[in-house]
Structure 1
Amino acid sequence: MGKASAALQASVALAKKGNVERHFKMLHSKTDTDFPLKSNLRKQKVQQLKHMLLTQQKMFTRPAEKNIATTVASYRVSQVIARRKKPFEDAMFVRMVFSDFEVKEELVKIIPLKGHTRGEDIYSKVKEYLISENIQIQKLVSITTDGAPAFTGRTNGFLALCRKDSSFPKFFSYHCIIHQQALCAKFLNMNDVIKTVIKIAHSLQRRLFRELIEELELQHGELPFHTEVRWLSKGKVLYRFNQLLPAILTFLKERNEETFVGILEDSNWLQDFAFLVDITEKLNDLNLKLQGKDKHILEMISEVKAFSEKLTLWEKNVMRGELKHFPTLNKQIETAEIPYERERFFNIITSLKEEFEKRFSDFKRIELVCQFVLFPLSNINVEESVADPINLWPVVPNEKYPHLISVAQQVKAFFPSTYLCESTFSSMNFIKNKYRTRLTDDHLDSCIRHGVTNYSPDFKKIVDESECQVSH
């Protein structure tokens, strides 16, 4: 049996009726006189004594408020560190559409692949995880990949094995739109110009060249380094190289680099270079529009389609010599002593347009459906009632249009690109650095999840459910 505590004095006794009566008569006999029953004075005294008792008990039964605040702060600091990926395979993201059409994009799992990374290896690991977590695979509507052979192989690729599996529903699959666009950019067939620019950029002695830049008081600074495959980095190098071209030529002449000087004074090479600067800038603009989270597939298809239509316009402009969309080339033509190679640039743009049409032909199958979902009332003026047409779907009665709502939810669930996976792998490479003394698969998964998730923990609830230690 617990002990009873006397509020009027700091004494305790076993909680028996006789003990409590004897204690009250011996030590508090005047209480009823000094504090009459049902009086405000008695109520105030009881509240005062109760408050004093609770204050004393807090020292032993729960941590002080400062300790709680400190614990919450420590959780928040841990979250910030995880989000910054400070001193962690196949990543699987899911795009979920709920009954109210709210969309969530989250990392499902980082799946370690040890040994082989064949299609059957990826398939078996993914299937094993889906079964272990009891994930309802029948709700799957599409799979987006980076186009690697392990995913797209006709017989033993991941997608082929999923389609052979009866537990998988029929699903739509496609190659990431951003990857497709980047692959199109590689068909410019001007690698000789790019390689020359990169070779010159890497040959510059950075310290000496920076001194020349400062002496000439140019605003662009030094050249950025180019990394292979990434067209954004190529575009940046080409743009900066063009801005610094006079300074680079001066520097190379001072260093007696006759081979490079001869190239940079060649009008034919400069004409190709100027065209490449302009076209890569346009491709980079498209690439940036396609990047980011929470992108709808039709938005990205529309961006690509608009770019293809621009290519048709640029074909005609280049052939007619109207170069307002190619300012760098136009400037070079005005100062060049050789004829303008209109047919060469026309053929390059034509090849680029054909590559776009070929690579994005698969999306024509779903384009009309996507248009209807995104703009269901495109022929009706609904600006006053609906700010965003796609927000109309949550108010459409499911009982009346169940099939339309189902299609709309499926289309909204399409992942248009592997952007989230790409950015997650960048985070993983940063986290898996040489300063990590120990990093298990589970630890890596947790670190990446904290770094890329949109959710934020309820720190107050975590602290309330924890047994915080009281400082002594």
Structure 2
Amino acid sequence: MAKTVLGSDAEKKLKQVPLSNDIIHSRISDMSRDILQQVITDMKASPVKVSIQVDESTDVSFCSQLLVFVRSEVALRGRVLTRVFELHEEIKQFLRNQDSDIADHFENREFILSLAYLADVFKHLNELNISIQGTGMNMITAREKLSAFTQKLPIWIKRIEKGNVANFPSLDEAAGADEELPILTEMKDHLQELIKSFQGYFHHGEVSVEQRWIRDPFLFNLDSMDDSDIMKDDLVELQANDRIRMEFESMQLDMFWCEQLKLFPQLAERALEVLVPFATTYLCEAGFSALLHIKTKARNRLDASDDMRVALSKKESRFSIIIEEKQQQKSH
């Protein structure tokens, strides 16, 4: 309209005029309300149980913020230790200049070897942690990764007993050409305690028949399934479908089973009951990071609920519906 009445120059100037805070706030609220309606609708229409993850955090104004994630259908310590090991000579010199007694530890060979070993251990743990993070992670995949890691630890112990520290590159570098390492016994004991700790926190057990066919319905051995299970018939039909097999190879596991809700509702519903639960606290951590970014000290009076919903939700606002609900401001 500005271009038609006043020309292109007026149009360019008008585009440079920022919207007021009230208008921006109103639009964010409209977008948030639309996203909330979509989420509620999806929850009501979901053929399987929904999974809810709740996290309460305190923002910069010491106000409690409750984050709720619904699924229907990091500064890493290992890296810090690695940097300390890499710079241990510089750190030693710095501590000497500060007349600190801690510098004596960096003169101790066993201390340096222990530091290198811990840097390697935490690096392995951080890599495991990163591998089970992300929005697409599910309980089955996380279980597989944790199980694989705990099965590696006894192998590492056997190598250590033979003086092989190939799994610990920083330690291997610190050891140099020395044939004997004074901390091998401590390393072995520590890894054994780590195994017990993992078994205490994460009980893996045997993989159930159900988890096997959910994980890969096409490689699943039907003979291991009880003949009285009515879902066995659906699995036979599923395995015979080449088109669905191609879809399975190109899609994420949870999305694949969502696609099968129409053709194989019993199989898909059972699979989604296993896949829908949140496997990690990744979304809570990501949500809190977003909260710190949105609600800064300069904006400590902000009610961040609408902003957070727009920032974190996978749902996109339906702008056509939002616009239809608005009344046009006609000129007088």
In 1: Cα distance, 2:15 partner to 2:137 partner: 39
In 2: Cα distance, 1:321 partner to 1:372 partner: 41
Alignment match of 2:304 (pick from 444, 447, 460): 444
Paired position in structure 2 for 1:22: none
Alignment match of 1:454 (pick from 308, 314, 317): 314
1:92-241 → structure 2 map (5 Å cutoff): 140=49, 232-241=75-84
Paired position in structure 2 for 1:353: 195
In 1: Cα distance, 2:282 partner to 2:121 partner: 23
Alignment match of 1:420 (pick from 259, 273, 283): 283
Which secondary structure state, in structure 2, belongs to the residue aligned with residue 388 of structure 1? helix
Q: Deviations over 1:420-471 (max 9, x none)?
A: 12221232244343323634xxx33212111211223244553454335467
Paired position in structure 1 for 2:230: none
Which secondary structure state, in structure 2, belongs to the residue aligned with residue 425 of structure 1? helix
Which secondary structure state, in structure 1, belongs to the residue aligned with residue 304 of structure 2? helix
In 1: Cα distance, 2:24 partner to 2:205 partner: 46
Paired position in structure 2 for 1:262: 104
Q: Deviations over 1:101-135 (max 9, x none)?
A: xxxxx989xxxxxxxxxxxxxxxxxxxxx9xxx96
1:327-366 → structure 2 map (5 Å cutoff): 327-334=169-176, 339-361=181-203, 364=205
- Could you list the runs of 5+ residues in structure 1 that have no partner in the other structure? 1-54, 60-65, 83-105, 109-129, 147-229
Q: Quick check: 1:323–1:330 contact (8 Å CA) kept in 2?
A: yes
1:309 correspondence with 2:151: yes
In 2: Cα distance, 1:295 partner to 1:386 partner: 21
In 2: Cα distance, 1:335 partner to 1:136 partner: 66
Q: Deviations over 1:229-284 (max 9, x none)?
A: x7x53212111111212222233333433x12211010111111111010000001
In 1: Cα distance, 2:91 partner to 2:36 partner: 46
Paired position in structure 2 for 1:100: none
Which secondary structure state, in structure 2, belongs to the residue aligned with residue 256 of structure 1? coil
In 2: Cα distance, 1:419 partner to 1:306 partner: 21
Q: Call closer, same or farther: CA 1:421–1:367 in 2, change over 3 Å.
A: farther
Q: What's the RMSD between the two structures over aligned residues?
A: 4.3
Q: What letter corresponds to residue 373 of structure 1 in structure 2?
A: I
Q: What letter corresponds to residue 414 of structure 1 in structure 2?
A: P
Q: What letter corresponds to residue 269 of structure 1 in structure 2?
A: F
Q: CA deviation at 1:373?
A: 0.9
> Which TM-score applies when normalising by structure 2?
0.66
Q: Call closer, same or farther: CA 1:453–1:326 in 2, change over 3 Å.
A: same
Q: Quick check: 1:275–1:329 contact (8 Å CA) kept in 2?
A: yes
Q: Quick check: 2:212–2:220 contact (8 Å CA) kept in 1?
A: no
In 1: Cα distance, 2:105 partner to 2:299 partner: 47
In 1: Cα distance, 2:305 partner to 2:292 partner: 13
Q: Call closer, same or farther: CA 1:138–1:394 in 2, change over 3 Å.
A: closer
Q: Call closer, same or farther: CA 1:408–1:325 in 2, change over 3 Å.
A: same
Which secondary structure state, in structure 2, belongs to the residue aligned with residue 347 of structure 1? helix
Q: Call closer, same or farther: CA 1:325–1:337 in 2, change over 3 Å.
A: closer
Paired position in structure 2 for 1:404: 267
Q: What letter corresponds to residue 150 of structure 2 in structure 1?
A: S
Q: CA deviation at 1:395?
A: 6.7
- Could you list the runs of 5+ residues in structure 2 that have no partner in the other structure? 6-10, 29-34, 56-73, 222-238
Alignment match of 1:374 (pick from 206, 210, 215): 215
In 2: Cα distance, 1:457 partner to 1:143 partner: 22
Aligned residues: 270
1:270-309 → structure 2 map (5 Å cutoff): 270-309=112-151
In 2: Cα distance, 1:314 partner to 1:107 partner: 50
Q: Call closer, same or farther: CA 1:371–1:339 in 2, change over 3 Å.
A: same
Q: Deviations over 1:7-42 (max 9, x none)?
A: xxxxxxxxxxxxxxxxxxxxxxxxxxxxxxxxxxxx
Greater relative contact order, per chain length (Cα 8 Å cut-off, separation 6+): 2
Q: Quick check: 2:92–2:106 contact (8 Å CA) kept in 1?
A: yes
Q: CA deviation at 1:315?
A: 1.2
Q: Deviations over 1:72-129 (max 9, x none)?
A: x969x959x97xxxxxxxxxxxxxxxxxxxxxxx989xxxxxxxxxxxxxxxxxxxxx
Q: Quick check: 2:78–2:120 contact (8 Å CA) kept in 1?
A: no
Q: Quick check: 2:157–2:188 contact (8 Å CA) kept in 1?
A: yes
Q: Call closer, same or farther: CA 1:70–1:412 in 2, change over 3 Å.
A: farther
Paired position in structure 1 for 2:168: 326
Q: Quick check: 2:113–2:171 contact (8 Å CA) kept in 1?
A: yes
Q: Deviations over 1:354-413 (max 9, x none)?
A: 21122211x5477542332121111589988425254664675867x5533321121231
Q: Call closer, same or farther: CA 1:460–1:394 in 2, change over 3 Å.
A: closer
In 2: Cα distance, 1:368 partner to 1:419 partner: 28
Q: Call closer, same or farther: CA 1:437–1:302 in 2, change over 3 Å.
A: closer
In 1: Cα distance, 2:178 partner to 2:102 partner: 19
In 2: Cα distance, 1:418 partner to 1:460 partner: 34
Alignment match of 1:467 (pick from 296, 309, 327): 327
In 2: Cα distance, 1:395 partner to 1:434 partner: 45
Q: CA deviation at 1:351?
A: 0.9
In 2: Cα distance, 1:141 partner to 1:446 partner: 22
Which secondary structure state, in structure 2, belongs to the residue aligned with residue 435 of structure 1? helix
